[in-house]
A and B are shown apart, each in its own frame.
Chain A
Amino acid sequence: MKWLTPLGKTIVNILLLMFSLSAVFPIIWMLYSSFKTQKEFTLNTISLPETWQFSNYIEAIQVGKLHEYFFNSVYISLSSVFLIIFLGFIIAYMIARFSFPGRKVIYILFMFGMLIPIHGLLVPIFIEFKNVGLLNKPYTLILPYVAFGLPIVIFLFESFIKQIPKEIDEAAIMDGCTTFQVIFKIIFPVASPVIATAVILSFLTAWNEFPFALVLIQDEALRTLPVGLTNFNGQYTVNYPQMMAAMSITVLPVLLIYLAFYKKIIQGMTAGSVKG
């Protein structure tokens, strides 16, 4: 018995294609519209630009200071990723390799962090940071980003390190390596596939993060891109093409990373979820 006639199959294929296109068309629309003038855009929302001109981008940087936000985002994201990987790898190694009092509790504490909706901590963290004078510092955002990034990375690393034979560590110790050297000279390179996944995932999360950047930083000069965009929106409410240029600048690094590391990203995202 056939459920679908050839015509039915064609229709399903077309529907699926339309769905897929709907997932990217808004992004493509944003990218090409950013090269239009405001006037062109209001005359026809959907048409391609008549002449591809970069004035929106130039203005986004000159007037909107987008390059400053961009630099802040790069600096915060990269610092966070470095610390997440460095600290997360040490913790995962210790939990995976040794038994010591409190090992279980520490692991559960970190896994708890994957479960709680961190946005519920927005207000308490603001109060705490305010009390100890940690608001509006160049390193302010790195602290929450590292803390929120650690759980998933520890989970990924821990399950990977467990599968590496312990004989490797023992041989290295015999050769006179310190524990620190075993971790970073011996095990770290072996774990490079999962580290790549962790780096990309942590970077994307930090790059895209919004509420904590909004609340913990009021100093204009320290803002990151997502919050910078909301300012931008306030200044140029009606100038959509210019706003789209600013958004495109924010999105491009992410799109490039995605297209380059498609497989790794998907692996990492699903690995974290299968835990359940």
Chain B
Amino acid sequence: MKTKSAIKPRNSKIYLYLLPGLAIYAFVVLVPLVMALRYSFFDWSGGPNMDFIGLDNFVALIQDDVFWQSFRNNLFIIIMSIIGQVGIAFLIAVLLTRSWVKWKQFHRTVIFIPNVLAAVIIGFLWSMIYNHDYGLLNYSLNAAGLESWISPWLDDPSIVMTSVTIPIVWQFVGFYLIIFMSAMQNIPDELYEAAKIDGATSWKQTWHITMPMLKSTFRVAIMLCIAGNMKVFDHIFVMTGGGPGSSSTVMAQYAYDVSFNRFELGYGSAVSIGMLALSLGLILISQIIGRGEKE
């Protein structure tokens, strides 16, 4: 550690420099976190009446079917994303290393585009694609002679989760593609050259060199999938608002509904705490499993 040197200002001066940024960060992230814990012990609708009810909110939360349904929906999106985003992205990343694959630069540029767009835009765009009468999807099915496949994509509780998950997966494939591509560049060429001399086919090389070398990248990608999809909100708010009924509600949407439609701010805080705890728990579990695999 480069400690005492001629250029080091006094500690008090350092703290003064850190203060503005730290203050904003503490005010927006740390204080609300602590306050949410406090509010979750109250029955409170935002007015002057706050009744301390101990753990009642959490007891109710554990028995709240909609909360657990929304958690399951988050899990569904996470699993689909791990298969869809990480899987497809890895496959494409491998393909883009093959000499016979064409238009590489085009693929790289284009697949990443949905990433930079607002989730709200993606949500609206896909509501339009799913629209029953004018949507791109039903139009294409019609044109392909598959009229029987035409469905009310966002209005049928039994398929709505799949319908809302596809745009979420679709939007972020490019992100994972870039992660895998930059990780693959760090694998030393000698490994592949040695394998080639031994007569390993390119798919064998992928299986025995690329995959094992990318273990930590896979771990990071899966963690990002979990962290990113526990907070998913915008897409679903725009496409279905969590409906029909509560069939496509996710935790963030549920916390929003409880707090801002039902005005139960105490219970809404408890839902938020539950959401944070479950997210951190899942991330932790995925890390532990990942670590264990490494040994």
Residues of A within 8 A of B (CB): 1-4, 9, 12-13, 16-17, 19-24, 26-27, 29-30, 41-42, 45-46, 83, 87-88, 90-91, 94, 97-101, 106, 109-110, 113, 115-128, 130, 143-144, 146-148, 150, 166, 169-170, 173-174, 179, 182, 204, 207-211, 214-215, 225-226, 229-230, 233, 240, 243-244, 247, 250-251, 254-255, 257-258, 262, 265-266, 269-270, 273-274, 276
Residues of A within 8 A of B115 (CB): 269
Contact with A along B1-45 (1 / 0, CB 8 A): 111011111010111011011101101111111011001000000
Which of chain A's residues have a CB closer than 8 A to the CB of B237? 210-211, 214
B224 at interface by CB-CB < 8 Å: yes
Q: For the complex, what is the distance from the CA of A250 to the CA of B124, rounded to whole Å?
A: 12
For A24, A125, A250, which residue has the most chain B Cβ atoms within 10 angstroms? A125
B95 touches A240 (CB 8 A): no
- Determine if B92 and A16 form an interchain contact, defined as CB atoms under 8 angstroms apart: yes
Verify B117–A254 contact, CB threshold 8 A. Answer: yes
For chains A and B in complex, what number of residue pairs have CB atoms within 8 angstroms? Answer: 277
Q: Contact at A20–B100, with CB atoms within 8 Å? A: no
Q: Are A118 and B110 in contact (CB under 8 A)?
A: no
Query: How far, in angstroms, from A160 to B5 measured CA to CA in the complex?
Result: 20
A249 to chain B, nearest CB (A): 11
Query: A116-B280, A122-B256 provided; 18 other pairs, C-beta below 8 A?
Result: A24-B113, A87-B21, A91-B17, A116-B276, A119-B231, A120-B273, A122-B259, A124-B269, A150-B25, A166-B2, A208-B118, A230-B238, A251-B118, A255-B113, A262-B112, A266-B112, A273-B221, A276-B219
Contact A122 B95 (CB under 8 A): no
Q: Could you give, for residues 193-227 of chain B, a 1 whenever the CB lies within 8 Å of some chain A CB and a 0 otherwise? A: 00000000111000000000000100111011001
A269-B13 in contact (CB<8A): no
State which of B55-63, B64-72, B134-142, B151-159 sits at the interface with chain A.
B134-142
- Tell me whether A23 and B174 are in contact (CB under 8 A): yes
